Amino acid sequence: MRKAYEVRYRTLLQAAGARRLEPGVQWLVGKARRLSLKQGIALADALRRVYEELAARPRFQGLKPAPGATRFFCDAGLGGLARWLRAAGYEAMWEAGIGDEELLREAVQRSAVILTTDSMLMERRVLRDRLIAGFWLPPTLSIGEQLALVFREFGLAAREPRCMSCGGDLRRVAKEALRERIPPRTYRWLDEFFLCRRCDKLFWQGTHWERIQRRLQTLGQAPPA
């Protein structure tokens, strides 16, 4: 985990044009160690706090991708995060069991930012030197915490949702045309229904969607229901 945060510190300092890059990275790690001892918290939490404090400084603002300009490729362990990013309106690709080499290759082909909990993957030269964009998430975070961190790191705001299953665009369809596919009870009390343009899965804004919207509201303004 320390190595992963060293990569994040290095990336921020490098983007800001720091002259003494490696000493700066080690100074930040040392600051986290002192914070851990002083406050009796885990080193991982201290490393995260130091990073967030650094990233919030005015000098480091504007170094992140513009809102809405990013697509993501989640590693094999982040399927839940991919679904939530899709619900928030972002392209988030995910393949069960995908290996590191294929993940890197697919991310390049699709111009996607890699999201991973694998600190060793972030040590790959192509990620360490930012030849491929990547972002590491602490493996101890819940899916909700992962989503909040990605929103904060990339300056995201919730947009019109995509299909949570495959990430395709959703199109509104008259419910009369879908009568045979809609459960009878749902047909009676809802009027808006959507189909995924890619996988043809049926969606509607029921209680599950309301829970998703409430979660997105805590991260940034969600699109109208």
Q: Tell me the residue range of the domain where 120 lies.
A: 72-151
Specify the range with the lowest mean pLDDT, choosing from 80-84, 136-140, 210-214. Answer: 210-214
Instruction: For residue 108, give the CATH number of its domain.
Output: 3.40.50
| 77 and 56 assigned to the same domain | no
| 91 and 42 assigned to the same domain | no
153/133 Cα distance (integer angstroms): 13
Which of 8-12, 66-70, 127-131, 156-160 shows the highest mean pLDDT?
A: 156-160
Mean pLDDT of the chain: 84
- Binned at pLDDT 50, 70 and 90, residue 92 comes out as very high
Which stretches within the chain are classed as H helix?
2-15, 21-39, 43-55, 79-87, 100-109, 125-128, 143-154, 184-189, 207-217
Per-residue tokens: 31: 């600051």
- Binned at pLDDT 50, 70 and 90, residue 221 comes out as very low
Domain-located, residue 105: yes
- Binned at pLDDT 50, 70 and 90, residue 220 comes out as low
pLDDT at site 65: 53
164/105 Cα distance (integer angstroms): 23
Domain-located, residue 76: yes
- Give me the mean pLDDT over the 133-137 stretch: 86
pTM across the whole model: 0.73
Residue 67, pLDDT above cutoff 60: no
| Span 117-133, pLDDT tens digits | 988 888 788 887 778 88
Listed residues 151, 174, 197: the one ending a domain: 151
Q: Which residues contact 114 (CB under 8 A, 6 or more apart)?
A: 72, 73, 75, 103, 104, 107, 121, 127, 132, 133, 134, 135
Considering only CA atoms, which of 146, 151, 114, 115 is closest in space to residue 131? 114
Pairing state between β 170-173 and 193-196: antiparallel
Identify the residue with better confidence: 210 or 155.
155
| 113 and 136 assigned to the same domain | yes
Listed residues 109, 129, 151: the one ending a domain: 151
| 85 and 105 assigned to the same domain | yes
What are the phi and psi torsion angles at 92 (to 5°)? Answer: -135, 105
Per-residue tokens: 204: 């509607």
- Binned at pLDDT 50, 70 and 90, residue 188 comes out as confident
User: What is the count of structural domains for the chain?
Assistant: 2
pLDDT at site 225: 44
191/165 Cα distance (integer angstroms): 22
